[in-house]
A and B are shown apart, each in its own frame.
Chain A
Amino acid sequence: MRPVYAISGGVSKFAKARPDKTFQAIVKEAYDYAIQDIGLDFPTFTRLVDGSVASYFSDHFTRQLMAGIMVQDYLGLCPKPSHRVEGGGATGGLCFQEAWKSVASGHMDICVAYGFETMSHVETWKGNEFIALASDISVDYPVGGFYSGYYAMMVTRHMKEFGTTVEQMAHVSVKNHLNAYHNPYAQKPNRYTIQDVRNAPMVAWPLTRLDICVMSDGAAASILVSEDGLRKLEASGAVIPRPLVRVTGIGCGTDAMRMADRPHFDYDYFMENYATTVEKNSDDTRTYYKELWEHGTRYPGVHSFRAGRAAGNMAYKHAGIQDPLEELDFIELHDAYTSSEIQTYEDMGLCRYGEGGEFAESGKAFMPGIDYGLKLKNQPTLPVNPSGGLIACGHPVGATGLMQAVFATWQLQNTIKKHFGDDTLQVKNAKRGAIHSHAGTGTYVSISVLEHEGQEK
């Protein structure tokens, strides 16, 4: 496979509703930004780009089939190759990886991944119904299809099994909403307290409205290139920042749509097939897990996302990462729920299974230099969702994973101040980051690693 570089990106302002433009025009906002950021004009980039991958989740929201080709047309990219990727909430992350494959395989030198969702076309409760159709419509949806309910069930099990608390979850909400205060693209920045989160209207016990991301209209675009693509763009006048940002690892995992069907593996099977390198090499961790299993823990059950663990293990192996907590500088992860951010800390190997709640309140995932109004035990180690994540940026499904890719690219280019007009969210000396995209209850999870080319952390 050839080296692949993420050289530029753009994000539309995420908003509750964008009736001022059609979905094609909203994508063009992000696309134009990505082109202009490397100093090219529209016709020049159109001449050079080899093709695209389109990302959007639901045909229901637009009531429009083949919306991808309508965007392709609007962007002036016909008759270049393109296809749509769909994988629920992970659609954007999967799209990014499809574009990576197009370039890494040699099929394209310059590929643009674009994505969008316009969820405001229906009322919130109908939107929840559309999303719930991403559960088995024979045996799951009719029982009370509601994704917040599904995730709430998963976290009650996590709480019962591991002692995770609602206050620990609220730490995630406080962190992400306040991070977003410095992100002009975010839909819902705010300063909250733990009590604010708990006092918000209850949606699905124990998740309140402030534990849950909102529906959004928005778009994002990311440009990926090979070394040949880089040369072509620069020969045409493109100005591409150095050091280059290279995509060094991709991973993807899956799990059963019906979460009731997920297996409950024993200790030996877990250690052999799912434990991280760090976990396998630690006597202490093996003992810790042995004790968990003796008390009844089985893997993954419904408390953990094995798709996330599988994706992480694959991406880390690809990128040569042994210990993600030590070797990553930031993560943009799919926090559709505060609970799922905590579960994802564990899946991604930032802490052991069962310790995600403690990790959330420790301060390790917070940004340095921001006063969250919380007493945190530890200094920030690995900022998670410095952008504000889905909870505060919004979640226009097909755009979300690409938004993460764009923010990660900007972090690694050290250009957050340029794009946000504020460098509060710039992770200092960021050399390597990960993006994590997740579909309903962990059915598809993609993780991609981006880093400075040729720089060891």
Chain B
Amino acid sequence: MAKLPERREENLGGYIVHGVPFPINTDEESLAFLKKMAPIQIEQPYQITYLHSYGQDSPWFAGLANKKLLASQDGGSGYTYANPRGHDMFSGQETNWIDITDRPAKVHAFTVCHFGSEEFLPDTPFVLALVEIEGVNTLMLTRLMGLDPLAATLDWIGMNVRPHFLRNSKFKPTDVYFSPSES
């Protein structure tokens, strides 16, 4: 059996206290002593639901929901972005949507997150990767599946990968993810 950790996990929460030590009399000496008082710390929960719009990028998410990976392309130069982008950074012109679902892809860079932001802690360890897609000028951030996170190696860079789509779309960029492929 594995050894228990040296320290217990720290977290917020505790008893509700309806009083705090304070001098009975507010004479000069007592008031001066207050400067030696430890700080009072309270919890302030804060939660809000935003109505977030994907705006001009919405078709990209609609594509994922329909198992299509779209890219944004400048009509003049053909410069292509894997991410949704309404206007080209070089020409300033509005981009066009193209379908890159079936294009060959490979890993450009990656990491294995053993820790993470609070929202993603339940997912750890997970593999984050930037993938190159043939004929696309920029990269795409995604999750890589089908790999052993404890066996990370630089050899994963250059590995061929292919996209998969969630059957039940969440309208998030994680509706698509990649895994190793033969070619």
Contacts and interface: CB of A to CB of B under 8 A. Distances in A.
Are A and B physically bound partners?
Answer: yes
Interface of A: 19-21, 63, 123, 125-126, 128-129, 131-132, 137-140, 142-146, 148-150, 152-154, 156-157, 159-160, 201-207, 256, 258-264, 302
Interface in B157-179: 157-158, 172-174
A126 B83 contact: no
B115 A160 contact: no
Contacts of A152: 111, 113, 128
B34 interface: no
20 contacts: A123-B12, A125-B117, A125-B121, A128-B118, A139-B60, A139-B84, A140-B173, A142-B172, A144-B128, A148-B113, A149-B128, A154-B109, A160-B157, A205-B112, A206-B111, A207-B111, A259-B130, A261-B81, A261-B83, A264-B137
Contact of B39 (A19, A142, A160, A260): A19
Given A153-B110, A261-B85, A144 B126 contact: yes
B172 to A, nearest CB: 5
B138 to A, nearest CB: 5
A144 B141 CA distance: 10
Contacts of A19: 39, 41
Interface in B108-165: 108-121, 123, 126, 128-130, 137-143, 152, 154, 157-158
Nearest to A131: B117
Contacts of B154: 156, 159-160
B111 A156 contact: yes
B117 A153 contact: no
Nearest to B84: A139
A148 B116 CA distance: 8
Contacts of B114: 201-205
B139 A149 contact: no
B130 A142 contact: no
A264 B52 CA distance: 31
Interface of B: 10-12, 38-39, 41, 44, 46, 52, 54, 57, 60, 81-85, 89, 108-121, 123, 126, 128-130, 137-143, 152, 154, 157-158, 172-174
Nearest to A135: B141
B115 A153 contact: no
Nearest to B54: A138
9 closest Cβ pairs, A-B complex: A152-B111, A129-B117, A157-B109, A260-B139, A125-B118, A205-B112, A153-B109, A128-B117, A19-B39
A256 B143 CA distance: 21
Contacts of A148: 113, 115
A249 to B, nearest CB: 28
Given A63-B46, A123-B12, 4 more contacts: A139-B141, A153-B128, A157-B108, A302-B109
A264 B111 CA distance: 21
A201 B113 CA distance: 12
B172 A302 contact: no
A152 B116 CA distance: 12
Contacts of A63: 44, 46
A167 B69 CA distance: 39
Given A129-B118, A153-B111, A261-B83, A139 B130 contact: no
Contacts of B108: 157, 302
Nearest to B61: A138
A15 B18 CA distance: 30
Contacts of B139: 259-261, 302
Contacts of B173: 138-140, 142-143
Contacts of A126: 117-118
A262 B172 CA distance: 22
B44 A145 contact: no
Contacts of B38: 20
B37 to A, nearest CB: 10
A187 B143 CA distance: 35
Contacts of A206: 111, 152
